[in-house]
Copies of this chain bind each other. A is one copy, B any other.
Amino acid sequence: MSSSPRPQRWKKLDGRLLLQTRIFDVQSVDFHHPAHPAPREFLLINAPDWVNVVALTPRHEIVLVRQFRFGMNDLSLEIPGGVMEGGEDPVNAAVRELAEETGYVGEKACLLGSVHPNPAIQTNRCHLVFVRNARRTRAPAWDPNEEFEILSLPVEEAYACACRGGITHSLVLDALLLFRPHWEKLRRS
């Protein structure tokens, strides 16, 4: 049910680079609303797309990693994930990140969906991938600053952990939401 008209689209015009870092850049960009006399400036953060992966083991456990996260200044329990490389396919990127962080390799990887980490100020997306029959078959390949505890939890325990605040990374929670219908189907079969 809708009780008001659909908003108009603003037209994206020129941008000015305010900051360039190795992780993202910040731009001030002009947007013009069709009913306004002049454009207005809005801030945008540009970064490569990200991926994360729900890797389900043959015993129906979800592969998790615990790592120190500098933004929250604490350890964080998450599913594996990372930054896509230029030109990389999201599903391939997720399979690569899973193997690099955990040593797990699976089968039949497929996209659960793609979300906007912050559609107000970030231009990038995060792609959520599902991998079946994940088994630990190789050694992880961590970057110099990386250090992971590798865990797995039965699916329902992972949901319970998320709902009681044990998993707080927004993009990990998104993957759990979009994985739910797949899990319902798997559980019934």
A163 in the interface, Cβ–Cβ < 8 Å? yes
Complex Cα–Cα for A175 and B171 (A): 12
What are the residues of chain B within 8 A of A180 when measuring CB–CB? 163
0/1 per residue, A1-39, Cβ < 8 Å to B?
111111111101000001101111010010101000000
Question: Does the CB pair A116–B70 fall under 8 Å?
Answer: no
User: How many of these chains are in the complex?
Assistant: 2
Task: Give the size category of A's interface with B.
Answer: 35 or more
Q: Are A66 and B7 CB-contacts (below 8 A) given A149-B2, A170-B174?
A: yes
Question: Does the CB pair A117–B118 fall under 8 Å?
Answer: yes
0/1 per residue, A132-153, Cβ < 8 Å to B?
0000100000000101111111
A88 in the interface, Cβ–Cβ < 8 Å? no
Question: Does the CB pair B67–A7 fall under 8 Å?
Answer: yes
The residue of chain B having its C-beta at the shortest distance from the C-beta of A76 within the complex is B119
The residue of chain B having its C-beta at the shortest distance from the C-beta of A121 within the complex is B71
Complex Cα–Cα for A75 and B110 (A): 26
Selected contact of A123 from candidates B10, B71, B150, CB within 8 Å: B71
A178 in the interface, Cβ–Cβ < 8 Å? yes
Question: Does the CB pair A123–B73 fall under 8 Å?
Answer: yes
Complex Cα–Cα for A168 and B49 (A): 14
**Interfacial residues of chain A within 168-189, with CB under 8 A of chain B in the complex:** 168-171, 173-174, 176-178, 180-181
What are the residues of chain B within 8 A of A2 when measuring CB–CB? 149-151
Question: Does the CB pair B152–A119 fall under 8 Å?
Answer: no
A75 to chain B, nearest CB (A): 6
